[in-house]
Structure 1
Amino acid sequence: MIISTEWIYIAMGIVCLFCSFYTFFDKTNKRRILSGLFYFIYAITLLFGKIIPPFYIGLMVLAMVVIVAFGGLQKGGYGETAPDELEARRKRLGNWLFLPALLIPILTVLGSKLLVNVKIGSRLLLDPSNPTLVALGVACIIAILTAMLLTKSRPQTAFKESRRLLEAIGWAVVLPQLLATLGTIFTKAGVGTVVSKLITKVIPENSVFWIVFVFCVGMALFTMIMGNAFAAFPVMAAGIAIPFLIKRFGANADQIAAISMFAGYCGTLMTPMAANFNIVPAVLLDLKDKNHVIRVQLPTALMTLAFNIILMYLLVR
């Protein structure tokens, strides 16, 4: 392959590395050494995670936890442009400002669908193990370059703005990786088997509706606990979807996977553990109630979860 997932992680690591350097030298940040160290360690895990032994990666993660636990992670100063100048730039660019943001989903879909089997010579263009992730990474890079051309900005501006957003997210930036790892650990520990045994004791084995109900609600609940549907899916799939819905009732695996992830996303809308979805927006919008986003999303999440249960039942029945 020419563009692998590893290259995307390296690109992320380079951005994070430059952000850590800016933080180290930001005198407005009273904890700039510890804050810079947090993002520096994170950059190292992205850049060299494939070659560093897991034990040492674990030690680095623990070091990051200690930094956060003792209040070492703080925001700095960013030398933001005056509001009047920002408004003048906004008027000058008009709706073209939306172009970089629109390019990301458009190019991701096009790349993952049209370029997945494209070869240059004998080598695939995109990593076949995860073409969507690679397409997303490439789309983000193209969007950044487009934004720089539109605003006539230097590369330093892109790194500085990346740092501003990175520090706004703070410790939650590592949450997706940690939660995905947690899902793998739960699966290895046999939590799925425990769930399967519990289902056979509580739910009638021939009741499709109740098995679907427990599966979808379980996906939502596990996602609320872990903060990520990707972490919940291996556990619930091993415990309910594979032994009951797929093997016993002959359900379509692709349909079950898609709907169950959708049910998990309902849980994402209802939990502060999904910090990058629910807490970070509240911080960026400077909301007084940090759970306001969750409260607004709650009715939609419950209605969507009910829809998923009915849809899956009709498809499996």
Structure 2
Amino acid sequence: MSLLTGNSHSLSEEEIDEYADGTVKLRNPNIELMDQDILYHVALGSESHDLREMFGDVKFVCMGGTPKRMENFAHFIMDEIGYKLPAGTQLQDISEFSYRYSMYKVGPVLCVSHGMGTPSISILMHEVIKLMYHAKCIDPIFIRIGTCGGIGVDGGTVIITEDALDGHLRNSHEFTILGETVHRPAKLDKKLARELKSLASADDPYDTIIGKTLCTNDFYEGQGRLDGAFCEFTETDKMNYLEKLRDNGVVNIEMESTIFAALTHHAGIKAAVVCVVLLNRLNGDQVNAPKEVINEWQQRPQILVSRYIRKVLAQHGQLKSLFGHHGSIKSPRRFKLVQQESQAHD
């Protein structure tokens, strides 16, 4: 069956049985025929590194836009789950030699930056999904932690995405593959969304809600902003558009949710998106809250996600039995080649 039919490929009974052990599926027979699968943009390789030893225990993959945010989250989650590094060591950016993304491993939690927009996160996710495959991770859960603009929602509100919609309000992501248009469902795990929502506390000094998220390919014109380098619509046009979004149940706008949902769903991975609102777009276009306020707001999705991770680990009795360990290099020669390839900027 061709993948370029415009329809999502359905799993056969054999495929369902094959992955009943919880390992990640790639839907790509070419990978097993390769001498080595180089995960170019994160400076890892299937033969240069012992990926199963390094990442086989990963249960949660948490992604956010900037390297600094994910470094901060790595330190935060380390304290939250009681993870202890070996004496004399510190958290290391596993992908530091890629100069593109950052990656920190805190026991069963992998913290990765994905950049801004669908192209950047798409590249990262292809390689992280392959990483989960090579490491033989069992039932990993992917959670995007981000920021967004709200629609009728105040700054500081935490939003858990129920449905990810594209610019045409379709619950799918549009790909162009070999010159043909392919739509893949942008489905997130609604049970996971409800679990996350249940962990919001009445003592939190902010609201946590579930709603639909609009994903755009642009920060300015694509989101109806009046303050870009170009604008060929009026404020009335903008407000009519935002009101239309609100009438369709959209509560926030960001730039990664449809591709994140489409790729995780296609790989059979349970996933969620948790963002904090930086401004109510019905009141303006520019993010003008003080930096210290924004920094505090950005911690709110991290707190909610950490509660979920703690809950799952506690259910399995793992909160107090986590000790750091480092993966090994299988082939120093291949390791050096992968490192050199990832440092190439052309």
Scaled to the shorter chain, the TM-score interval is: under 0.3
Please give the TM-score of this superposition, normalised by the length of structure 2: 0.24
Please give the TM-score of this superposition, normalised by the length of structure 1: 0.25
| Greater length-normalized contact order (CA 8 Å, ≥ 6 residues apart) | 2
Structure with larger Rg: 1
Greater per-residue helix proportion: 1
Greater per-residue strand proportion: 2
